[in-house]
Amino acid sequence: MSSTRNQLDSRHQVTDISIVQPILTWWYRISAPAELPSHASFTEREIVRRGRVGSLMILGTIIAIIIMFILVIATPHLFLLIWTIPCMIFSMLLCLITIPLNHRGNLPYTALLLLSAIYISFIGIVLSESRGLDPLFLSLFDLLATTELLAVSLLAPSSVFLVALFNALLIVLDVNFQTHSMMWSQMISSQEILISLLIRPLILYLIVALVSYTWLTSALRALQRADRAEEIARLEQQVREQKQLLENGIQDLLNTHIRVANGDLAARASTDRENVLWQLSTALNNLLSRYQYGIKAEGTLNQIANELNLIRQGLQSYMRYPNAAWIPQGITLLSPLVHDLSHLLTTSSTIQHVQQPGKTPSISQSGISQSGISQSGISQVPFPQPHPKTRPPLSSQSFWQQHDSQ
């Protein structure tokens, strides 16, 4: 039975929360300041927090005014409706004006208008008593303690003492200047009885002011410490993230160096904007590109030197054995040069055969000496003359640029 009852109670609580929560959400949306991002300052977040409290106070004040309006209408013989109803309507208008002000974060104006609405409605009820001030209505002055809570929540903490002083002054003025009822004359027969009746609301005002001021100042200090701790934690998190990004960038550069050291000249560092060292990565990539091009150029020069050595060996072999094949194998870059040399030697040998038929040309007769091609051999070789419109010979730099483009 007890478990079933607990289940029913929990279901009722869940139902109540599910009904109230959408209403509060809608009310906060139209009357409370908008939520701020986490990186907002403490002052801005404090305005939002107090604005949400002020939103609830606006709602509570509106509900209280509606309830008092219903009670006044239900007991018309106790109040002068000609004064009470306009005061309460004006108080309701002030509460409605505070909704957009509080939504924009204008807490001082919101607090002043709410205090004015409470005082106007309260004074309208107390001063409109048809039979004069009644001792039974002195308990209504206890409700003015809510103005102190409102002031300490929306204004500076020290403002609660000014509101408490104003409440005490209001009750003293009302007791001294408002017309007293017959019951007041019968019950308050001496000054001591009057003081005993007034001491309760005055002490209540003082206690509420002291407690609320102490509580709020302590809460503000705790919130400031929590905000500092949260700010420190956020900064530590940012430092950890930046440190992690820096370590990732360093590791990427280190991996690139290791790959290049192992012979992978195509390795490149990451240049994404997420890499905090992307500028260093870009400079390293440019250096590696130039280094790779230099290695390629060095290989090309080494290949040319090897092919020149093979051509020299072939020419030396031709000088010893003119009828043997002298063109070396594996010539790629200097194949045009080999072709021209072969054509030159063939033409020189043919000319010597024509001039001395039936005689095998020797090395000296063929126009090739130990040092290369003799002057007679060269003079007898019909070198083709370049056409005037043909392209001029390429320089070494132009040759390498053309080779790289091919």
Same domain, 124 and 188: no
> Residue 5 domain-assigned?
no
Q: What is the pLDDT of residue 385?
A: 44
> Residue 279 domain-assigned?
no
Residue where a domain terminates, one of 356, 382, 397 = 356
Q: What is the pLDDT of residue 97?
A: 94
Same domain, 148 and 84: no
Cα-based torsion angle of the residue sequence 292, 297, 299, 302 in order, rounded to the nearest 10 degrees: -160
Same domain, 225 and 308: no
The pLDDT of residue 207 is above 90: yes
Helix (H) or strand (E) holding 117: helix 107-127
> Residue 197 domain-assigned?
yes
> Residue 18 domain-assigned?
no
- Tell me the average pLDDT of the chain: 78
Report residue 361's pLDDT band, with 50, 70 and 90 as the boundaries.
Answer: very low
pLDDT digits (tens, 9 = 90+) for 148-200: 999 998 998 899 999 999 999 988 888 888 877 777 777 777 777 878 888 88
Same domain, 299 and 347: yes
233-248 mean pLDDT: 87
Report residue 366's pLDDT band, with 50, 70 and 90 as the boundaries.
Answer: very low
Same domain, 228 and 295: no
The pLDDT of residue 354 is above 50: yes
Displacement of CA 12 from its chain's centroid (Å)? 43
pLDDT: which is higher, 104 or 388: 104
Residue where a domain terminates, one of 205, 232, 259 = 232
Q: Please tell me the total count of domains within the chain.
A: 3
Same domain, 114 and 57: yes
> Which range marks the domain in which residue 196 is found?
137-232
Q: Mean pLDDT: which of 243-257, 314-328, 359-373 is highest?
A: 243-257
pLDDT digits (tens, 9 = 90+) for 108-158: 999 999 999 999 988 888 877 777 777 777 788 888 899 999 999 899 889
Q: What is the pLDDT of residue 388?
A: 43
Looking at residue 387, its amino acid is H
Residue 223 tokens read as 């919130």
The pLDDT of residue 383 is above 50: no
Same domain, 44 and 122: yes
Looking at residue 185, its amino acid is S
pLDDT digits (tens, 9 = 90+) for 244-266: 888 888 888 888 889 888 888 88
Report residue 382's pLDDT band, with 50, 70 and 90 as the boundaries.
Answer: very low
DSSP collapsed to 3 states, the chain? CHHHHHHHHHHHHHHHHHHHHHHHHHHHHHHCCCCCCCCCCHHHHHHHHHHHHHHHHHHHHHHHHHHHHHHHHHCCCCECHHHHHHHHHHHHHHHHHHHHHHHCCCHHHHHHHHHHHHHHHHHHHHHCECCCECHHHHHHHHHHHHHHHHHHHHCCCCHHHHHHHHHHHHHHHHHHHCCECHHHHHHCCCHHHHHHHHHHHHHHHHHHHHHHHHHHHHHHHHHHHHHHHHHHHHHHHHHHHHHHHHHHHHHHHHHHHHHHHCCCCCCCCCCCCCCCCHHHHHHHHHHHHHHHHHHHHHHHHHHHHHHHHHHHHHHHHHHHCCCCCCCCCCCCCCHHHHHHHHHHHHHHHHHHHHHCCCCCCCCCCCCEECCEECHHHHHHCCCCCCCCCCCCCCCHHHHHHHHHHC
Contact 115, 151 (CB under 8 A): yes
> Residue 20 domain-assigned?
no
Q: What is the pLDDT of residue 125?
A: 84
> Residue 260 domain-assigned?
no
Same domain, 121 and 37: yes
> Residue 323 domain-assigned?
yes
pLDDT digits (tens, 9 = 90+) for 262-313: 888 888 888 887 778 888 888 888 988 888 888 888 888 888 888 888 888 8
> Residue 217 domain-assigned?
yes
Residue where a domain terminates, one of 112, 130, 148 = 130
d(CA 55, CA 42) in angstroms, rounded, equals 20
Same domain, 174 and 220: yes
Report residue 400's pLDDT band, with 50, 70 and 90 as the boundaries.
Answer: very low
Same domain, 150 and 97: no
d(CA 68, CA 309) in angstroms, rounded, equals 115
